[in-house]
Structure 1
């Protein structure tokens, strides 16, 4: 069976539920965006949210997808960089507890953290302190880390280090891996548009994007954006939230509905959709069935706070996936 390696920013998510969006305005964060922040701004975020309940989980877009695949029984690894601190140890332990091979480099800098500010309508806005995660350098990515893996899943947030992502994609393709990319936040796409076009056209086989990211990437909306992106890569998945998803492979286009859920927090929804979709691909399912499994995982994760689900939920998911496969 195909093995998947993930590569991305190794972050610990600090999840905070807001009573309203006033704090987002006060911090000048566009709702639904991802802002890169420094240590000083971390203090501002902690001060602004001090009266709200919070909890933590290992995170980062690619790591969330790898966790989902591991919980579905796929053999996985994750490559990234953490600090020699409690946050880094928390991240490593979370990988090991799910039988994910931790390919983690260490730095004397603090580990990265992503502050997920969750609005009452379940939309989340991120203030991300990259810390040690951003110190991952292209010369630290050696071709042997890809040995034995069939798929590289990489997050668009890494475009903050263009030399790194170009080197990683070139190596993965030279080793014969299928490259899967999640575009990340719309503002990241806007700021790196030409570079992302180059990477997708030359190295990416599977691309995941939500509506805002697809619009930022193409200047178009919905199905028009889907068709435009498909000019660049073999398989395009447009995630449409409550409206489900649209998938295009060559001339085949399918639309998949979202499942009915009580949304609590959308953190990790797109990442877990990618888990389900890649799982289906690995098992040779139709793109429609892949999308249905993706929708199942995305729906289940937004019923909890954060990107992680408990063992009981995963047992239920695995039973449902098995039934869908049969």
Structure 2
């Protein structure tokens, strides 16, 4: 069991790596479309370009919006909005979606380490059910062509934490190369489990890399149970035996944090949930930002909870600027508490 101290972070900046995707968010009136296309509710399922187009055609009359996405990308966006230093590694194409992606990152002052492919920029079709649960049919496109060979020491040297989305686990060589190079350059490694079905399909690999490389694990209830076969509370204890900080997110019931012998329960803030897209991503943003500021783990959890409670009240994973203007003073108060 490894406990965490803020002194372990060598530099304040966070580097994210993940599938660079455009989110196409569609509000559905019932779950029939999920059943029609074999999409397990609440999961992320990889689809090809043809099925992705069929899903969009089936929902053509539904309300939709488009924004930059990808789990780790959402997290670094949140860190940037908090005033933190961050960067992002991903692969896109020189197409309309790719140009939109690059411009959004530059506008938010996020350092970009983009690689390019002739394959089109990937996109995730997020289907939002009436109960606010989101289900993704994801066409990875260019994102899936990011390779282990493209990971170089130069990319990692200016950062203190590497944050990896579990969705990258479809490429074992890539995720392990990124973790290994990060550790060789003194970075802490953080991973978000991403989706219960992804965890189930890669459980042996995830157990190994967490024990060998990972310092911080984020998982929701279903992911924690998939990883350990135990209830969320028991899963927290098992995950904490593998790494320095274990975080299990319990949705409306808050979150649990364990480091060493210390267990912290964080309450969720009162919120009217419309769409859970990005809630875990933005929680991680608040948490990791707090760590780079050398704040206590309880404060880190509270900042994460504050942000997550605000993102579920809107469609999509991006908190609006007017809401950020209200949140930032609250974050500053938490930092001083």
Q: Which band: TM-score by shorter chain?
A: over 0.9
Mapped pair 1:168 → 2:217: no
Q: Is the 8 A contact 1:5 1:149 kept in 2?
A: yes
Mapped pair 1:39 → 2:49: yes
Q: Deviations over 1:171-192 (max 9, x none)?
A: 0001000101001100000000
Residue in 1 that maps onto 2:7: none
Mapped pair 1:18 → 2:65: no
The TM-score normalised by the length of structure 1 is 0.99
Q: Deviations over 1:104-148 (max 9, x none)?
A: 111010100000000011100000000000000100111110011
Mapped pair 1:107 → 2:117: yes
Match of 1:197 among 207, 220, 225: 207
Mapping 1:125-274, distance limit 5 Å: 125-274=135-284
Which consecutive residues of structure 2, in runs of 5 or more, have no partner in the other structure?
1-10
**How many residue pairs were aligned?**
326
Residue in 2 that maps onto 1:62: 72
**Alignment partners' CA distance in 1, 2:63 and 2:239:** 40
**Alignment partners' CA distance in 2, 1:282 and 1:40:** 42
**Alignment partners' CA distance in 1, 2:217 and 2:184:** 19
Q: Is the 8 A contact 1:63 1:78 kept in 2?
A: yes
Q: Secondary structure at the match of 1:304?
A: coil
Q: Deviations over 1:86-121 (max 9, x none)?
A: 001111111011100111111010100000000011
**Alignment partners' CA distance in 2, 1:214 and 1:54:** 31
Match of 1:6 among 13, 16, 32: 16
Deviation of 1:14 (Å): 0.2
Q: Larger relative contact order (C-alpha < 8 A, sep ≥ 6)? A: 2
Match of 1:293 among 284, 303, 320: 303
Q: Secondary structure at the match of 2:241?
A: coil
Residue in 1 that maps onto 2:96: 86
**Alignment partners' CA distance in 1, 2:246 and 2:117:** 36
Deviation of 1:225 (Å): 0.4
Q: Secondary structure at the match of 1:231?
A: helix
Runs of 4+ residues deviating >3 angstroms: none
Q: Is the 8 A contact 1:84 1:109 kept in 2?
A: no
Deviation of 1:149 (Å): 0.6
Which consecutive residues of structure 1, in runs of 5 or more, have no partner in the other structure?
none
Deviation of 1:211 (Å): 0.5
CA-atom RMSD in angstroms = 0.8
The TM-score normalised by the length of structure 2 is 0.96
Q: Is the 8 A contact 1:11 1:111 kept in 2?
A: yes
For structure 1, which segment, 4-13 or 275-284, has the greater mean C-alpha deviation from structure 2 after superposition? 275-284
Residue in 1 that maps onto 2:132: 122
**Alignment partners' CA distance in 2, 1:146 and 1:190:** 29
**Alignment partners' CA distance in 1, 2:199 and 2:333:** 37
Match of 2:85 among 65, 75, 81: 75
